[in-house]
Amino acid sequence: MKYQADFLEQVDRYFEKAATHTKLQRGVLDRIKACSSVYKITFPVRLDTGEIDMIEAWRAEHSHHRLPVKGGIRYAPSVCEDEIVALASLMTFKCAVVDVPFGGAKGGIKIDRRDYSSAEIERITRRYTFELTKKNFIGPAVDVPAPDYGTGPQEMTWILDTYRACSGGDLDSAGCVTGKPTSQDGIYGRKEATGRGVFFGIREACKRADEMRKLGLTPGIEGKRVVIQGLGNVGYHAARCIEENGARLVGLIEIEGAVFNPEGLVLEDVMEHRHATGSILGFKDAGSINESGKALELDCDILVPAALENQITRKNAGRIKAKIIAEAANGPVTAEADEILTASGRMILPDIYLNAGGVTVSYFEWLKNLFHVRFGRMQKRFDLLTHRTMLKAVEEMTGKKLGQEVYDFLESGGNEEDLVNSGLEETMILAFCDIQETGMRHGVDLRTASFIYAIEKVAVSIKELGIFP
C-alpha cells in the first residue's frame, strides 16, 4: 500500500513544483489539486465453484471543470485508493495538455486476472458497472471509462451492455465507454492510439536539432538505439511504429526478463518466439537478462518504459544510460529519479504528454458515438470529386497526362483510421510545441512545463465557471 501512496505523493510534488511558476492564488491551486469525488465499492461475486468472493473497487473523479470526466479502468492486485486518485489527477492534466475537453478520472478493481476465469471476470465487470450506474459514476455526459492495465475491448463491451440495460435505452449510450471493438461502436485506430502517440511524441522531440545537439545526438529518429520495457498494447505498438520509421530496437523488456542485441532486434520475430515459448528469453541471436530491472540500464539513446509506475527510482537512476527517457507508462520515473536524470542533462518526455494518444482517440470515439456517424462518411466522395477536378485542371494547364496511379491514390481517399491517425498526429505535434514554448518561457524541463501549461488551462476553466473571482 505504501508503494502506491508514494505514487500519489510524487504527482503532488510535480504539481507543487510547477505551481511555483504560476501566478495563481493558493486557493485556486488547492482546488485544482484536490480530487473531487472518490467512490469505493465492495461487492460479492459468485465464482465458478459456487463460492462467494468479495471484490474491492474504486472510481475517482478528480476534476469536474470539464464534463464528462475520462479515465481508464485497471485490473491489478496493487490497485488501491491512492493509486486511483493519483492516476485520475494525471488524467486531468493529460487532457489539458492535449486540449481534450474532459476532466480526469480513473477506476480500478483489486484483482489478479490470473486467479479468475473469463466468466468470473465478466461477472465482476458487470457488477462493477452496475454499482457505478447506481451512483451516477458512469454515462456519456458524466464519466466515460476506457481500457487500462489489465482491461481491453472485451471488458468495455461488457460495460456498455450493462450500462445500456440499466439506463433504459439511452440513444447516446455507446458514448458511456471508449476503447470498444469497432463492431460495438468503437473507432478504428483506438487500439494502437497510445503507442502511436508515443511514437509521434518521440519523433517530434527528435526533430529539435538544438535539443539533440545538447544530448550528443543527431536530429531525427532514424538510427536511434531504442530499448522498450513492456510489450503490452502500448509498448508493442510504440515499438512497431519506432521500428517502421528507421530506429533500431536494441532491447526489449518483459516481466520475465529481457533480450538485447546492439545490432538490432526484429520485433515480430521476438513476438513469434514469445508466442511459441511463452517468454521472450532465449530468443535467437540475442543475449538474455533474467532480471528485467537491470535491463533498464542497457546502453541506448532512447528508453521507453511502457509498463507500470515507479520503474526508475533514485536507486537505479544513476545507472540509466539512455539520453532520452520517454514515459509511455504512467509514472515510471519517480520524483527523486526525475531530479537525478534532469540534473545529468537527460531529456524526459513526461507521461502526461507522451501517453495522451489513448485519451485523444478516445475523444474521437466519444464524438463518433454522440454524432452517430463514422469519420469521413459525409465528405469522402465530395473530396474525391474535388481532387479529380483539380487533377484534370492541372492536366489541361500543363498539357501533361498524369499517371493512373496518381488518380488511384487520391480516389482511394482517407478512411476512418487515416483520419483518426491524422488527428492524433496533429494533436501530439501541437501539444509538444505548446509544452516546449512554456518550458522556454519559464526556463524549466518538459515535465514541469507540461504541468504549468495544464494547471493554467484548468485554472481558466474553473474561473470561467465562476467558482473563483
Residue 2 has pLDDT above 50, yes or no: no
- Among 153, 186, 219, where does a domain finish? 186
The crossing angle, in degrees rounded to 10, of helices 190-206 and 233-244 is: 50
State the amino acid at position 409 in one-letter form.
Answer: F
Q: Looking at residues 135-152, what average pLDDT do you find?
A: 95
Question: In terms of DSSP H, where are the helices of 257-320?
Answer: 267-277, 292-295
CA distances to 79, 93, 333, 355, 370 from 450, in Å? 26, 8, 15, 13, 30
d(CA 454, CA 448): 10
Average pLDDT over the chain, rounded to an integer? 92
Within-domain flag for 372: no
Structural domain span for residue 297: 192-354
pLDDT at 411 over 70: no
Mean pLDDT confidence for 383-408: 76
Nearest CA-CA partner of 145 in 45, 261, 59: 59
- Could you tell me where the DSSP H helices lie in 168-189? none
Please say if the pLDDT value at position 413 is more than 70.
Answer: no
What is the rounded distance in angstroms from the CA atom of residue 306 to the CA atom of residue 297?
Answer: 15
Q: Please report whether residue 95 resides in a domain.
A: yes
- Looking at the fold, whether 59 and 144 belong to one and the same domain comes out as yes
What is the CATH number for 217?
3.40.50.720
Q: The domain that contains 178 carries what CATH number?
A: 3.40.50.10860
CB 248 within 8 A of CB 326: no
Report yes or no: 349 and 324 within 8 Å, Cβ to Cβ. Answer: yes
Which triple of cell numbers denotes residue 63? 476534476
Instruction: Indicate whether 409 pLDDT > 70.
Output: no
Q: What's the number of domains the chain is made of?
A: 2
Query: Does residue 460 fall inside a structural domain?
Result: no
Helix, coil or strand: residue 58: strand
Q: Do both 336 and 199 map to the same domain?
A: yes
Q: For 144-195, what is each residue's pLDDT tens digit?
A: 999 998 999 999 999 999 999 998 878 899 999 999 999 999 999 999 999 9
Q: What is the pLDDT of residues 368-389, one digit of tens each?
A: 999 988 776 666 666 777 767 7
Band of the pLDDT at 341, cuts 50, 70, 90?
very high
57 and 78 fall within a common domain? yes
Under the banding of pLDDT at 50, 70 and 90, the label for residue 406 is: confident
Q: Is the N-terminal amide bond of 469 cis, ω within 30° of 0?
A: no
Cell 509544452 identifies what position?
Answer: 435
- 345 and 226 in a common domain: yes
pLDDT at residue number 468: 61
Q: Are residues 215 and 182 in the same domain?
A: no
* CB distance 245 to 199 below 8 Å: yes
Residues 8-18: tens digit of each pLDDT: 899 999 999 99
**Residue 4 pLDDT > 60, yes or no?**
no
Claim to verify: residue 205 and residue 161 sit in the same structural domain: no
- Based on the domain organization, do 146 and 291 belong to the same domain? no
- In the prediction, which pLDDT does 246 show? 94
Outline where 99-223 has alpha helix (H): 118-134, 153-167, 190-206, 209-215
What confidence category does residue 3 fall into, taking pLDDT thresholds of 50, 70 and 90? very low
Last residue of a domain, which of 354, 388, 414? 354
- Predicted local confidence at residue 1, as pLDDT: 37
Look at residue 284 and tell me whether its pLDDT is greater than 70: yes
Cα-based distances in Å from 82 to 5, 86, 87, 142, 146: 5, 6, 9, 22, 19
The continuous run of DSSP H or E covering 40 comes out as strand 37-46
> What is the mean predicted confidence (pLDDT) over 279-293?
90
178 and 223 belong to one structural domain: no
Whether pLDDT at 408 is above 80:
no
Contact 88, 60 (CB under 8 A): yes
Distance in angstroms (rounded) separating the CA atoms of residues 460 and 87: 22
- Buried b / exposed e over 302-335, threshold 16 CB at 10 Å, is bbbbbbbbbbbbeeebeebebbbbbbbbbbbbbb
Per residue in 49-100, pLDDT (tens digit) is 999 999 999 999 999 999 999 999 999 999 999 999 999 999 999 999 999 9
116 and 241 share one domain: no
% of the chain surpassing 90 pLDDT = 81
Q: Of 36-50, 292-306, 309-323, 406-420, which range is least confident?
A: 406-420
Phi and psi for 94 in degrees, rounded to 5?
Answer: -65, -45
Co-location of 109 and 180 in the same domain? yes
Residue 170 within a domain: yes
306: in domain: yes
User: In this predicted structure, what is the pLDDT of residue 390?
Assistant: 76
Same domain flag for 222 and 282? yes
What separation in angstroms does the CA of 370 have from each of 172, 275, 448?
A: 6, 39, 35
Whole-number CA gyration radius for the chain: 23
Q: Are 257 and 270 in contact (CB under 8 A)?
A: no
Q: Domain boundary at 323, 354, 385, which?
A: 354
| pLDDT at residue 412, rounded to an integer | 64
Q: Is 90 exceeded by the pLDDT of residue 404?
A: no
Which H helix or E strand runs over 225?
strand 225-229
pTM here? 0.89
Residue 254 inside a domain? The answer is yes
Q: Residue 292, class by beta-carbon neighbours within 10 Å (0-12 exposed, 13-18 middle, 19+ buried)?
A: middle
Task: Say if 52 falls within a structural domain.
Answer: yes
In a domain, 246, yes or no: yes
**What is the Cα–Cα distance from 205 to 324, expressed in whole angstroms?**
9
Mean pLDDT of 107-121: 97
Q: Is residue 469 pLDDT above 60, yes or no?
A: no
* 215 shares a domain with 178: no
> Catalytic residue positions?
106
Q: 3-class SS at 287?
A: strand
